[in-house]
Structure 1
């Protein structure tokens, strides 16, 4: 959480009260002791008011459970990111990541563990991407990553790294975790955010369906 509100609130009231004191000092050639003693209280009030502002701003941009960006932040920032991509002659990739069988995790381990899994996945995604990339919880057990890349080959490296890190996470917390990932590229597939997400979403569900088909095929092979 940023300290912008707290800094501005405390500093603003300090400066405002200082102007008030100087005005009356130059006018009356004296200052009431109470005016000087009120400095700490005004600064504390400014800090408190600024903290409320920081909280409101934080939760308007961040997901309350995981602490990563939320849907609103992505929609508000998308235009800025695309302008950077065009200015630097880069491609913009959109990844949709869905936790496989998340309902089964909730049913087996409980909702508390399910929340922990979502938080750990968020941390893993943050750790597997660059600081300039946007990692957001799009809803439920679905996550979104938006970042810049110079060539599409680099996207495959990113996908492989994400899959490896999620496998490592599964081993660390001893809960079977896998994810299906779909991708779309700006401006190749579309320039519209929701269209890009839909394309990536469709690819993600195709990946999920392929995994299910492979599981069924493997089970049938074992029976034979």
Structure 2
């Protein structure tokens, strides 16, 4: 959670109260003791109010369970992301990651265990991608990763890293966990977010279907 609200709130009230005190000092050549003693209270109040703002800002962009970005953040920023990629003449990859048989996990092991699986998946997605990549919970047991595309070999490296860590996830949570991944490339596959998601979703479901055959 960022501290911008707390910094602005406490510093803003400190400066505002300082202006108030200087004004009356130059006007009356004196300062009321109460005005000086109120500094800590005002700074504390500014910090508290700023903290509430930081919380609202944080939860408007982040998923409450996993702490990664949420669907709202992606929807609000994808235009900027794609515009920046276009100006830089670069490409982006979009990954859709879906936990296989998540309903079965919830029904068999309970929602607490299901939540733990989602948290662990979000953690390994963050660990397996670059800091500049966006990792978001798109909804339910589906996650989204957006990053700079450096060619097919680079994307394969990311996918292999993710698949390897997902295989080890079962040992960490002590229950069978598998996930399916689909990908799409901007602008090769489309320049529209929902078309890219449709493409990645199709690949993801093909991946899921291929597992059920064997």
In structure 2, the partner of 1:221 is none
Q: TM-score, normalised by structure 2?
A: 0.98
Q: CA deviation at 1:81?
A: 1.5
After the TM superposition, which residues 166-177 of structure 1 pair with which residues of structure 2 at under 5 Å, given as runs?
A: 166-177=166-177
1:67 match: secondary structure: coil
2:194 match: secondary structure: helix
After the TM superposition, which residues 75-154 of structure 1 pair with which residues of structure 2 at under 5 Å, given as runs?
A: 75-154=75-154
In structure 2, the partner of 1:5 is 5
Query: Is the deviation greater in 150-159 or in 174-183?
Result: 150-159
In structure 1, the partner of 2:55 is 55
Alignment root-mean-square deviation, CA: 0.9
Q: CA deviation at 1:153?
A: 2.3
Q: CA deviation at 1:89?
A: 2.4
* Contact 2:149–2:185 (CA under 8 A) maintained in structure 1: no
1:162 match: secondary structure: helix
Alignment pair present for 1:207 and 2:195:
no
1:89 match: secondary structure: coil
Q: CA deviation at 1:213?
A: 1.3
In structure 1, the partner of 2:16 is 16
2:69 match: secondary structure: coil
Q: CA deviation at 1:83?
A: 2.3
Cα deviation 1:79-99 (Å, max 9, x = unaligned): 221123223322100000000
Name stretches of at least 5 consecutive residues in structure 1 with no aligned partner: 215-224
Aligned residues: 214
1:7 match: secondary structure: helix
Alignment pair present for 1:33 and 2:33:
yes
Q: In 2, Cα distance between the equivalents of 1:30 and 1:9?
A: 27
Q: Which runs of 4+ in 1 moved over 6 A?
A: none
Q: In 2, Cα distance between the equivalents of 1:150 and 1:42?
A: 51
* Contact 2:181–2:203 (CA under 8 A) maintained in structure 1: yes
* Contact 2:3–2:54 (CA under 8 A) maintained in structure 1: yes
Q: In 2, Cα distance between the equivalents of 1:108 and 1:150?
A: 41
Q: In 1, Cα distance between the equivalents of 2:45 and 2:204?
A: 49
* Contact 2:71–2:138 (CA under 8 A) maintained in structure 1: yes
Q: TM-score, normalised by structure 1?
A: 0.93
